[in-house]
Amino acid sequence: MKKVIATALILTLLFFLIPLILPGPDRVDEGKGTGEPGESEGSYQGDWKELAGDQTLRVLLNGEVREMPINEYIWGVTAAEMPASFELEALKAQAVAARTYALRRAAVPNQNHPDADVCGDYTCCQAYISPEQAAANWGDNAEVYTAKITRAVADTGLEVIRYQGALIDAVFHSSSAGSTQDAVAVWGSSVPYLVSVNSPEGEEVPNFHSQVSLSAEEFRSAFLAAHAQANLGDDPKWWIGETVRNESGSVEQINIGGVLLRGSDVRSLYKLRSANFTVEAKGDQIVFQVAGYGHGVGMSQYGANTMATQGKGYRDILSWYYTGVTIETYTGR
């Protein structure tokens, strides 16, 4: 009995001392500018599964609904959605955005999974990976990256992003071409906190510039299947009409065969990496030149990483990409 009491006292003492020993987010050497974890980034060993207290989510994974602590889910989302080699502050921004997105989704029943708050399918909710699978993917970096993602989730506790008191739709994308997109340009509806802002990433982004080439017949067949009224004659050089760009440089409107389309519609039709593209006929080929990756709205992940290398903290990053928001601890509503 004495041994049990002594052990309990030691554990209680450690619980209060550890936060004093470990460097906080304002003191840690984050390895800024390298894209690799600093020496102390892997030092946090807290129980991230319990950091949110009783807050849980019903998560659909591999056909099974599991109830898990919210930060267990956020750990898996952060690890799946952003490279673990990114700066710690960028990973923290990702964790807060993912937590906000999940809690907002959980408040409204989803027809795709009515018995679950969220799922692990990125085409519906957010990508998710288990710690075991993530460790297998990371190989020799597994221990450091596991602890790094843990710290990103732990240091942000139960923080979320709000606009005028309500949880925001914390959408994010991989990379922008100089500026993010205004929500109205992509989805047709204005959102006050999802407006175009400058984004600092560039040539360091893998496949920042990409090209898609289609035969004239492939282009025409796909277009007519979606827009049968289009006038696509024998000469491809007359198919592409006027292109209007928005302030971010992405295609706002384009005339193809007499049909006016949004750039996001063309992106979807031809599976382009973004709506920031040029298109021209070259002989019997239609060639797209594309910059950036993703819908371009909200937080750019590579932009967030660049901002972190410049010394910006995660709250600065989030406040930059989501205009006029506040970052608060979630209180259950």
Whether residue 117 is predicted with pLDDT greater than 50 in this model: the reply is: yes
Helix, strand or coil for residue 263? helix
Whether residue 21 is predicted with pLDDT greater than 70 in this model: the reply is: no
Give residue for tokens 């990483």: 305
Predicted TM-score (pTM) of this structure: 0.79
Q: What is the pLDDT of residue 169?
A: 96
What is d(CA 326, CA 324) in angstroms, rounded to the nearest whole number? Answer: 7
Q: What is the pLDDT of residue 226?
A: 96
E strands, 132-276, in order: 159-163, 166-167, 172-173, 209-215, 240-245, 251-256, 259-261
Point out the least confidently predicted range of 32-46, 290-304, 315-329.
32-46
Q: Can you say whether the dihedral through the CA atoms of 35, 36, 40, 42 is positive or negative?
A: positive
Q: What is the pLDDT of residue 48?
A: 53
Q: What is the pLDDT of residue 247?
A: 82
Closest CA to 185 of 257, 261, 240, 124: 261
For 258-268, the pLDDT digits (tens) are 999 999 999 99
What is d(CA 315, CA 321) in angstroms, rounded to the nearest whole number? Answer: 10
Between vectors from CA 75 to CA 70 and to CA 79, what angle results, nearest 5°?
A: 150
How many other C-beta atoms lie within 10 A of the C-beta of residue 192? 13
* Average pLDDT of the residues in 24-53: 37
Q: What is the pLDDT of residue 26?
A: 30
Between vectors from CA 159 to CA 157 and to CA 164, what angle results, nearest 5°?
A: 170
Alpha carbons within 13 A on the beta-carbon side of 225: 8
Q: What whole-number percentage of the chain has pLDDT above 70?
A: 84
For 60-96, the pLDDT digits (tens) are 999 999 999 999 999 999 999 999 999 999 999 999 9
Sequence spans of domains, the chain: 2-170+298-329, 209-291
